[in-house]
A and B are shown apart, each in its own frame.
Chain A
Amino acid sequence: MSGLMSEMAAKALKLNIPLSVQLDLTYRCNERCIHCYLDHDDHGEMNTAEIKGLLDQMADAGVFFLTISGGEIMMRKDFFEILEHAHARTFSIKLKTNGVLIRKKEAERIRALGVESVQISVYSHRAEVHDAITKMPGSFRQTIEAVRLLRTVGLHVTMANVLMVQNAQDYPGVRALANELGAQCTLDPTITPMMDGDRSILELNVDKAALREVFRDGALVGNVEEFCAPPQGVDEDALDMLPCSAGHTACYVSPYGDVYPCVQFPLPSGNVRRTKFVDIWRDSPQLKEVRSITLRDMPSCSQCSHGATCTRCPGLAYLEGNMRGPSYQDCEKSYARTGIPSENFKARNASPQSFQSLKLVQIQGLQPAEGIFSAKATEASAVGA
């Protein structure tokens, strides 16, 4: 995060402003990815007027970074009407899509509507592997064509690759493909449980050895020695750290109007069909509780040597049953990264109770100048929630 971005985030935190929101327009999708955590049936999506009204409310509440995602966003016939409205309300807009429905006309319209960047899921540089993951024959060809079209009209494109057993060896190929296409590339090594709590898809996660290999790839992590350095323990300053932006300066809104701290933190915190967005943001007891938690309040993590450097996701911890507890998936990542087990990791491995048998929380829906004027500027290529 740039210095200017950090300043903005700190100010938003102080003013209690929801700087970033991910809004999923639909959970419907034209692909059936094997690792997807969503229920693709439509259980009553917000209509066009509801979404436009929500965008107005979010703009008034101070939301600046808007990620429009799904499902597949272009499954909605009113997608461009919604995007036009978001553009008129001057959000910084990022789209997440599989690109299958993007042709030249769509690419040009997306460009004309001021979209800052488009993230497209690409699981392999090999068509047969990508298509086997999406379970949609021909999807690789269509997706890569979308990347080309979006780049041709001058849009920033990020190819998002999710690491799983099926494509564990392919991320260098995806990275090379991204370079060839002039796109950025990200790699997410975590498969998360399904929205209904079903953990069966976690079997797709790569094993520890593969994760170790990823964490030692300098092209991905930069300085390997620094990235994989042993944890230095937790000091007093670290104990007051906030876990992440979820619920603090960011939140997520589902296609049904449910508000959560983050797309990966399914704690129901209100519904915009019943309560104004800003009132949920300011007054939701759930969001207030999330905001109250620092590392000091986490009995296990505050005692763990990884506490200050762990990438613990509070949403994954919540899914494991306790938002103040550790996330076993992140403990595994810390171990793969440093070779040093977390306190939770050691306890779990010593316990006769298998993690696999733990009951998961079920996700529930809720019905420049030095004069008097100044302008500071920065390249904000890594802007996001």
Chain B
Amino acid sequence: MNNSRYVARSTAIAARALGDETMVMSATNSTLFTLDEVASVIWDAADGVTPLDQIVANKICAQYDIAPEVALKDAEALVENLAQHGILLLSDQPLARSSSSSKEG
């Protein structure tokens, strides 16, 4: 497991908070996603410069009753899935800050 992975929101997406969820649409293939409350926390924190393990520790484990290793494993699965669809960028190095670093909507 690589704990120094960085995630950033793609600029080729549309996204908006809807209650405690987040709607995300890929502009390349119009696939629509809804992220649940916890996935939305990661989405909002995906600024390209904060390591994923730090996001999980500071934003997930601090707010939700979940073991850090379980949270990180789930977070890795989520970001890899979203990266495969091109709506998140995933790297072992810090990424340039995405165009909108705050929560959309």
Binding site for B on A (CB under 8 A): 2, 4-5, 7-8, 11-12, 15, 17, 19, 59-64, 87-93, 114-117, 154, 156, 368-369, 371-381, 383
Contacts and interface: CB of A to CB of B under 8 A. Distances in A.
Contact of A90 (B15, B30, B82): B15
B32 A378 contact: yes
Contact of A369 (B30, B78, B104): B78
A354 B100 CA distance: 57
B105 A383 contact: no
A91 B23 CA distance: 10
A92 B14 contact: yes
Interface in B1-25: 11-19, 21, 23-25
Q: Which of A2, A12, A15, A372 has the most CB of B within 10 A?
A: A372
Q: Which of B11, B34, B70, B77 has the most CB of A within 10 A?
A: B34
A87 B98 CA distance: 13
Contact of A114 (B12, B77, B82): B12
B18 A372 contact: no
B33 A376 contact: yes
A113 B19 CA distance: 26
A71 B23 CA distance: 30
Nearest to B99: A88
B35 A374 contact: yes
Contacts of B38: 372-373
Contact of A156 (B23, B30, B74): B30
Q: Which of A4, A8, A15, A369 has the most CB of B within 10 A?
A: A369
A330 to B, nearest CB: 30
B30 A12 contact: no
Nearest to B98: A90
Interface residues of B, number: 42
B97 interface: no
B45 interface: no
Given A92-B14, A92-B25, A116-B30, A375 B73 contact: no
A375 B81 contact: yes
Contacts of B36: 373-375
B81 A60 contact: no
A8 B78 contact: no
B31 interface: yes
B66 interface: yes
A114 B19 CA distance: 24
B49 interface: no
Interface in B28-72: 28-36, 38-39, 42, 64, 66, 70-71
B37 to A, nearest CB: 9
A5 B32 contact: yes
A116 B75 CA distance: 28
Nearest to B17: A62
A116 B25 contact: yes
B24 to A, nearest CB: 8
A378 B19 CA distance: 19
Given A90-B14, A372-B38, A377 B85 contact: yes
